[in-house]
A = this chain, B = another copy of it.
């Protein structure tokens, strides 16, 4: 195949996130079936996770995050051409959520659609939106991930410690004349149906992993390393050109396996997993908003984000951080 690195010039001009009003710490979380030893709690590594309330459905959280992203892009929802909503933790036959998100935003001329792709949904959405923006008819897209991951944990299970709710959004624009915004350098999407059965949902709606956690961590890390290496190689870059790796957080075990698989100094991987839990497809924009607000991730930094998801999906994106208006999240 011919060598075709990079995307056309797509800019990340806005970024926003949203966490539920109710953030459970380990003391307020409803008790587990079996008490957990402090050492195990440390190993799980989550101190806080959100539980969305009745006013914080998938569509509403998506709108809160997307509005913040639009505000920072200085963009009006009425000028959006595309809205992609990623969510797998609340599913219904119909209607999809995206048309409602577009309506609530006031994105009157946009078309909109839902995307699943489990925890890899956000990067899948970013990749697809970037290609839509090649069409001269489309100029501006919102990709927003909104997940009620907590609802997929069996009450009383250790999953309730890990799984949290939240939303995060990018505004993507075909490069404006001024070249503002971070640049989406390139992305890579993959899937492997061989592993379709390793994560399923019980009839009651709880997540059920059908392979050992250790195997899952290794598969996740291997998949993330593969798409990341392919992406970097195509763009004549290596990990030394990357300021930060901001992966989908998964679990502490997955994060450790990624560090090993990429042979990366642990301090170059950023997640805010400890303070939000696993927010599934929203994890990357939620973490990015957090670390930009903290001043840790700065304009000009080069970020590699990668995610895996039950399906089996793998995805990666390489992008730079642009000048952004101040975040609306607490640092």
Contact = CB atoms under 8 A, between A and B. Distances in A.
Interface in A176-203: 189-194, 196-197, 199-201
B196 A99 contact: yes
A71 interface: no
Assembly stoichiometry (copies): 2
A124 B118 contact: no
A96 B117 contact: yes
Contacts of A91: 91-93
Given A91-B92, A95-B312, A191 B115 contact: no
A268 interface: no
Please report whether the interface of chain A is mostly helix, strand, loop or mixed according to DSSP: mixed
A102 B192 CA distance: 8
A98 interface: yes
Interface of A: 1-2, 4, 7, 88-89, 91-96, 98-104, 110-118, 124, 128, 131-132, 134-137, 152, 189-194, 196-197, 199-201, 205, 207, 309-313
Given A91-B93, A131-B135, 17 more contacts: A1-B137, A91-B92, A94-B118, A94-B310, A95-B196, A95-B197, A96-B313, A99-B313, A103-B193, A103-B194, A110-B191, A111-B189, A112-B191, A113-B124, A114-B117, A131-B132, A134-B134
